[in-house]
């Protein structure tokens, strides 16, 4: 795991005994700074570099010597490193001292005519784009200490302070937002949380759910929707949770040919109403 020194913006690699660190959750733009570009002079003119700087400044203000930003801390030219990082990412967010969520499209907070303050909404009254991305689901749920910032890096509030609003937008129970360990949650519910989300690459809709579903598997970019089938097969292999099969009820009424596994997370959206359950084990 590579971490940024928050004073020098130099990268340092750790194999074990990770120091306390902050971690960034954000939406990508066309001006992100990669691992190869980080120390190039021209990279400093990109918006992505300013985001790295602000993240490190905030971490330093929180007395954290290190920070992790996915864009520059992973060498994506190495398929082995990328696979290890994606399979470890949930744990990295979970172990962070602070998680900073940067909402690039939010200037507010804004006060609507109803006098209901929408702290993580855009100027046109829509929830931030951050809520629509596949990768940000685990970045919301894995860490304990989460703070939201607007586009100018002004503090909006903590996850605990914004629980009601976040729950309303994501359709995730407040108790699950606080911690996934308080209330047992079935796989079907977890998949339903991703049903309306998107990723740039088709395969990432499966890969972004690895940590949340508690499984590991190799990445095969180019397999497209087959990645979600592999994810479900791995869940079935390692879990007794039958809710993975609770999908596509409405679609079954109009289509006759379906396999036993859902073709994509979208078909699991109705499983959000399920409670935790497992198949009976032999006595």
Q: Which residues of 39-66 are buried (b: 16+ CB within 10 A; e: fewer)?
A: eeeebeebebbebbebbbebbbebebbb
For residues 132 and 2, membership in a common domain is answered with: yes
Q: For 172, phi and psi rounded to 5 degrees?
A: -105, 130
- Bridge partners (DSSP) of residue 96 are none
Position with higher pLDDT, 252 vs 13: 13
Residue 255 has a pLDDT of: 54
- The Cα-based distances of 97 to 62, 94, 144, 265, 277 in angstroms read 10, 9, 8, 30, 32
The answer to whether residue 283 is domain-embedded is: no
Structure tokens at 4: 């940024």
Q: Is residue 282 part of a domain?
A: no
**Shared-domain flag, residues 75 and 188:** no
Arithmetic mean of pLDDT, 191-217:
96
Q: Residue 251 above 70 pLDDT?
A: no
- How far apart are the C-alpha atoms of 214 and 202, rounded to whole Å? 20
**Is 279 among the domain residues?**
no
112 and 205 belong to one structural domain = no
Q: Is 175 found in the same domain as 229?
A: no
The answer to whether 149 and 101 have CB atoms below 8 angstroms apart is: yes
Cβ–Cβ under 8 Å, residues 25 and 99 = yes
Q: Residue 281: inside a domain, yes or no?
A: no
In a domain? residue 108: yes
| Same domain (yes/no): 173, 212 | no
Residues 200 and 177 in one domain: no
Point out the domain boundary residue: 124, 156, 183.
Answer: 183
> What average pLDDT does the structure give for the chain?
90
Whether the per-residue pLDDT at 280 is higher than 80: the answer is no
The domain in which residue 155 lies consists of 1-183
Task: Judge if 176 and 193 occupy the same domain.
Answer: no
Residue identified by tokens 């021209």 is 42
Residues 4 and 108 in one domain: yes
Same-domain pairing of 199 and 120: no
Q: What is the pLDDT of residue 144?
A: 95
Domain identity same for 195 and 177: no
- The total number of structural domains that make up the chain: 2
């Amino acid at each position: 795991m590579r971490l940024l020194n928050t004073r020098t913006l130099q990268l340092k690699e750790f194999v074990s005994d990770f120091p306390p660190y902050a971690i960034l959750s954000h939406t990508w733009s066309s001006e992100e700074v990669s691992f190869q570009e980080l120390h190039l002079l021209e990279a400093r003119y990109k918006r992505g570099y300013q985001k790295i700087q602000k993240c490190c400044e905030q971490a330093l203000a929180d007395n954290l010597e290190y920070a992790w930003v996915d864009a520059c801390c992973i060498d994506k030219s190495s398929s082995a490193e990328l696979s290890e990082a994606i399979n470890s990412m949930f744990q990295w967010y979970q172990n962070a001292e602070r998680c900073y969520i940067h909402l690039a499209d939010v200037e507010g907070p804004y006060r609507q005519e109803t006098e209901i303050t929408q702290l993580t909404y855009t100027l046109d009254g829509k929830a931030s784009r951050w809520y629509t991305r596949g990768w940000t689901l685990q970045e919301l749920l894995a860490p304990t200490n989460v703070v939201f910032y607007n586009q100018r890096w002004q503090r909006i509030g903590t996850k605990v302070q914004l629980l009601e609003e976040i729950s309303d937008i994501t359709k995730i129970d407040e108790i699950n937002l606080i911690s996934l360990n308080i209330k047992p949650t079935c796989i079907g519910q977890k998949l339903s949380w991703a049903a309306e989300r998107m990723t740039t690459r088709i395969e990432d809709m499966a890969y972004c759910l690895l940590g949340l579903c508690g499984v590991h598997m190799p990445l095969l970019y180019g397999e497209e929707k087959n990645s979600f089938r592999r994810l479900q097969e791995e869940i079935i292999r390692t879990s007794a949770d039958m809710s993975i099969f609770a999908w596509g009820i409405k679609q079954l009424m109009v289509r006759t040919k379906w396999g036993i596994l859902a073709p994509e997370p979208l078909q699991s959206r109705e499983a959000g109403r399920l409670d935790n359950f497992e198949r009976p084990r032999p006595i």
